[in-house]
Structure 1
């Protein structure tokens, strides 16, 4: 049976080296701009360089009570809408480390006008194009933030929704789910970061429960240690760091 990678791409190699990638931990700062709804800015300064970055483009928004792990690419033509070097694409993971709330005035910066992100789950009532028969095996990847099993709005929910829809369309013989955690310790901004290996199972359980809640029979779903072959790298925008924090899903059609 032919295998297809849905909502995926060939694993991007060298992309993180071709562009300037940044990764650091810092306390976020909110700039109170007024350019319409949701136009405020989130900023964070790399403690190693002192450079202030604009991380507003990240789908996960900072919590100004906690430090954030910032990972992303410096935008080639990001402009300066917020008073910081724009990171886009960007990922933000909220950490447990506490921070003091820090708000600054607009100071002439306009911020960004709100625009609906491309990764936006469509409403259930909206018609969608269904896959043609014979159904192919589907492979999906769902990203997660560091040390989190939370389904992120306009990121992991987008890929989870695509996974569920395909499963509902093909009514599979079986679904295999494998969680992945960042279990190799790394040092970022002088802090040691690593995920508990049990988090991989927790992430897989989150996806399993979501499938069941949408009507997939529990006896067709099983959690496995790992899935062979490539995974869909599209969800990570070329960044290699977040790829260690994901769930892989294999959907095998009946017959």
Structure 2
């Protein structure tokens, strides 16, 4: 028995680690668990139809809309706190699917505490605070900017900060800036749904990034726009290891 126990514990440990690193991707109608009378501690949950598993998607920068389905893309977190009564996904991205209606679902706390709102680690400074100038030498640098599925919207406390970083570097480095927008038009089959982004979204994303760069002080004459469809996944910290989400992005390349 003493010889068996270490091997069994090792096997259980490996199984736990494998589950913790598991990636999930599905479409679901969101559920809101009201843990504290709406005081920003409630939980957003989503059920994976294929397996019946319930996931905690509260950590996503984009919050669901009760009336619309969401595309959930994430990994099972290494640490599970059970604050919301579901398996925690972190990192996780949630994209609102505006053409997929849902019936609003609200459930009580049922003894789960939820978690208090905490300002995300990715946080832009107040507008009155000067941007720190990156020191030279300046080299060709790529700034990938993530987008939610089907949208050209810049997400608060996430892609907006990335655009500020790109603009700050571009102003300091000088030279030319190439903005390339991408869209995922190849059909994606998930949870009985077929999803595909419109081809013109690649251009709209590039134009949105240009608008931000110019508003942040980058001369428009220095920026060139491009757009393409169905790029290869990109491994970059901007996507938190969720490489499939990187197909929906804008690349800002600064060449001093």
Where on the TM-score scale, by shorter chain, does this alignment land: which range? 0.7 to 0.9
- The aligned residue for residue 69 of structure 1 is 71
Which is higher, the Rg of structure 1 or of structure 2?
2
Structure 2: distance between partners of 1:127 and 1:219: 24
> Is it true that 1:115 corresponds to 2:150 in the alignment?
no
Corresponding residue for 2:206?
204
1:222 is matched with which residue?
224
Q: Distance in 2 between matches of 1:229 and 1:196?
A: 17
Query: What per-residue deviation string (whole Å, max 9, x for no partner) do you get for residues 76-135 of structure 1?
Result: 212200111111110000002011111111111100122111111112333554222332
Is contact 1:62–1:68 with CA below 8 Å preserved after alignment? yes
Among candidates 81, 84, 92, match of residue 82 of structure 1? 84
The structure whose residues are more often helix, as a share, is 2
Change (3 A) 1:76 1:182: same
Task: Choose the corresponding residue for 1:166, options 169, 174, 196.
Answer: 169
**Bigger shift: residues 123-132 or 174-183:** 123-132
Q: For residues 2-81 of structure 1, what are the structure 2 equivalents within 5 Å?
A: 19-34=21-36, 37-81=39-83
TM-score where L is the length of structure 1: 0.86
Q: Report the CA distance shift for 1:237/1:195 in structure 2 as closer, same or farther (over 3 A).
A: same
TM-score (norm 2): 0.86
What is the DSSP-based 3-state SS (H/G/I as helix, E as strand, rest coil) of the residue aligned with 2:194? strand
1:3-61 Cα offsets, whole Å, 9 max, x none, are xxxxxxxxxxxxx9982011111100111112994211000100111111110001100
Rate the CA distance shift 1:54–1:135 in 2: closer, same or farther, 3 A: same
CA-atom RMSD, angstroms? 2.3
Distance 1:134 1:242 in 2: 32
Aligned to 1:7: none
Structure 1 residues 51 and 229: alpha-carbon distance in aligned structure 2, compared to 1, 3 A threshold:
closer
Range with bigger deviation, 151-160 or 62-71: 151-160
Of 176, 180, 187, the residue aligned with 1:185 is 187
Change (3 A) 1:35 1:236: farther
Distance in 1 (CA, whole Å) between partners of 2:232 and 2:113 is 45
For the structure 1 residues 48 and 230, does the alpha-carbon distance in structure 2 shift closer, same or farther, using more than 3 Å as the test? Answer: closer
Q: Which residue of 1 aligns with 2:152?
A: 149
The answer as to whether partners of 2:20 and 2:77 remain within 8 angstroms in 1 is: no
Q: Count how many residue pairs are aligned between Structure 1 and Structure 2.
A: 236
Q: Tell me, in whole angstroms, the C-alpha distance in 2 between the residues paired with 1:77 and 1:158.
A: 27
Query: Unmatched 5+ residue regions in structure 2?
Result: 1-17
SS in structure 2 opposite 1:201? helix
Cα distance in structure 2, aligned partners of 1:89 and 1:235: 11
**Is the deviation greater in 77-86 or in 142-151?**
77-86
Question: Equivalents in 2 of 1:230, 1:194: separation in Å?
Answer: 16
